[in-house]
Amino acid sequence: MPELPEVETIKNNLQEILPLRIKELELRREDILRCQDYALKELAGQSIEEASRRGKYLILAVNNGLFLVFHLGMSGRLYIQEEENTILEPHVHVIIHLDKRLKLLYQDARRFGGLWLLKDIDSFFSRLGKEPLSEEFCPPYLEQVLQGRQTAIKNLLLNQNLISGLGNIYADEALFMAGIRPDRQAASLSVREIEGLCCGIKEVLTKSIKYRGTTFRDYRDGKRQPGEFQNHLQVYGRFNQACPNCGQPLKRTRIGGRSSHYCEKCQH
DNA sequence: CGCTAGTCCTGTCTGC
DNA sequence: TGCAGACAGGACTAGC
């Protein structure tokens, strides 16, 4: 499940080899296109100049002002392959044929993800919350976000319109690092706890990027390599295993329809 | 407006 | 061995 660190890793992989010229965008499934502001033909002969990321979205900027925006959903993969490699895996929905004998493939079994062909990305991203690794994401911002909210803190961390890029894995990890139970009422957090949570969010994301993301099953980076942060997770997916802090078996519960992992003793 | 539950989707796992 | 059902969840939407 590609969250911020996974998309950041893919972005870094692609940025290394840009610019690349587009020969043709081959759309193998129409319904993977979520929005189309321009014709596919307009991409032919143009150059992908820059890869960037906003929240969990990966953005490819084309030299004539067009954008390709991918969201990988649950099972999406975006990776580079050599053009002469003709082995076609199942669920490859988009193939972007490039120069330098390369192609960029979008593969997504569950199809929760998609591709947006946009001319204006500012309005597209205007609803997204602040980037958790930016300077403007700070305790006062988090405090403002939590103010008056009755829902569980975990639900707010997953709301992309408030904080962009956190998913189920890193929300659980950040709450563990901050010593806060995922079902705590958001508005009940003290200033000190908010500071700890802000710090925990930044720390877990930074560390995961360093390990090139978390591969539970589906995730692969832009070179089709799995990440390594799954070996450093403290609570996510570790139900009934020992808490790395106190040794007590970790708990699992459901919050907002999502599985949530925490330590009863270390989180309050 | 805030929040919950349902929806989309398919590979993988569990139980009979 | 095979099949049915549960489960995973990001983002959106309907409804209370």
Q: Summarize pLDDT for A152-162 with one digit per residue, the tens.
A: 999 999 999 99
Catalytic residue among A11, A56, A154, A181: A56
Where does a domain end: A124, A147, A182? Answer: A124
Say if residue A95 is in the same domain as residue A8: yes
The answer to whether strand B lies under 7 Å from the CB of residue A17 is no
Would you say residue A88 has pLDDT above 90?
no
Say if residue A144 is in the same domain as residue A49: no
- CATH code for the domain in which residue A106 is found: 3.20.190.10
| Beta-carbon count within 10 A of A56 CB | 24
pLDDT at residue A178, as a whole number: 96
Q: Near strand C (CB < 7 A), which residues?
A: A 1, 3, 55-56, 71, 73-75, 110, 112, 158, 160, 167-169, 257-259
Query: Per-residue pLDDT tens for A141-194?
Result: 999 999 989 899 999 999 999 999 999 999 999 999 999 999 999 999 999 999
Say if residue A164 is in the same domain as residue A115: no
Residue A55: which pLDDT band, with cuts at 50, 70 and 90?
A: very high
Residue A65: which pLDDT band, with cuts at 50, 70 and 90?
A: very high
The arithmetic mean of pLDDT across residues A12-34, rounded, is: 96
User: What is the torsion angle, in degrees rounded to the nearest 10, for the CA atoms of residue A119, residue A125, residue A126 and residue A129?
Assistant: -170
pLDDT at residue A188, as a whole number: 93
Say if residue A188 is in the same domain as residue A84: no
Nucleotide nearest to A185 (CA to C1'): B3
Q: Is A223 part of the annotated catalytic residue set?
A: no
Structural domains of chain A, count: 2
Q: Is residue A268 part of a domain?
A: no
Would you say residue A1 has pLDDT above 90?
no
Q: Is residue A111 part of a domain?
A: yes
pLDDT at residue A87, as a whole number: 85
Mean confidence (pLDDT) of chain A: 94
Say if residue A113 is in the same domain as residue A145: no
Q: Is A244 part of the annotated catalytic residue set?
A: no
- Determine the residue type at A240: N
Q: Is A258 part of the annotated catalytic residue set?
A: yes
Say if residue A100 is in the same domain as residue A214: no
Q: Is residue A21 part of a domain?
A: yes
Residue A103: which pLDDT band, with cuts at 50, 70 and 90?
A: very high
Q: Distance between CA A194 and CA A146 in Å, rounded? A: 9
pLDDT at residue A104, as a whole number: 97
Angle at A143 between CA A245 and CA A135, to 5 degrees: 85
Where does a domain end: A96, A124, A152? Answer: A124
Residue nearest to nucleotide B11 (CA to C1'): A109
Range of the domain at A16: 4-124
Please tell me the pTM assigned to this model: 0.96
pLDDT at residue A25, as a whole number: 97
Q: Is residue A131 part of a domain?
A: no
- CATH code for the domain in which residue A189 is found: 1.10.8.50
Would you say residue A49 has pLDDT above 90?
yes
What percentage of chain A exceeds 70 in pLDDT?
A: 100
Nucleotide nearest to A2 (CA to C1'): C10
Which of A's residues 70-89 have CB atoms within 7 A of nucleic strand B?
Answer: 74
Tell me the β-bridge partners of A22: A98
Say if residue A116 is in the same domain as residue A39: yes
Q: Is residue A129 part of a domain?
A: no
Say if residue A187 is in the same domain as residue A120: no
Which residue in A27, A37, A34, A80 sits closest to A57, CA to CA?
A34
Q: Is A3 part of the annotated catalytic residue set?
A: yes
Query: Per-residue pLDDT tens for A199-258?
Result: 999 999 999 999 999 998 889 999 999 999 999 999 999 999 999 999 999 999 999 889
**Bases of chain C within 7 A of a CB of the protein:** 7-12
Catalytic residue among A21, A184, A258, A265: A258
Say if residue A119 is in the same domain as residue A225: no
The arithmetic mean of pLDDT across residues A116-129, rounded, is: 92
The arithmetic mean of pLDDT across residues A35-56, rounded, is: 96
The DSSP line for chain A is: ---HHHHHHHHHHHHHH--EEEEEEEES-GGGEEEESS-GGGGTT-EEEEEEEETTEEEEEETTS-EEEEE-TTTEEEEEEETT-----TTEEEEEEESTTEEEEEEESS---EEEEES-HHHHHTTS-B-TTSTT-SHHHHHHHHTT--SBHHHHHT-TTTBSS--HHHHHHHHHHHT--TTSBGGG--HHHHHHHHHHHHHHHHHHHHTT---SSS---TTS---SGGGG-SSTT-TTSBPTTT-PBPEEEEETTEEEEE-TTT--
Say if residue A108 is in the same domain as residue A194: no
Say if residue A12 is in the same domain as residue A84: yes
Say if residue A194 is in the same domain as residue A153: yes
Å from the A150 CA to the B3 C1': 9
pLDDT at residue A15, as a whole number: 97
Catalytic residue among A2, A5, A132, A182: A2
- In the block, which residue shows the tokens 């090139």? A212
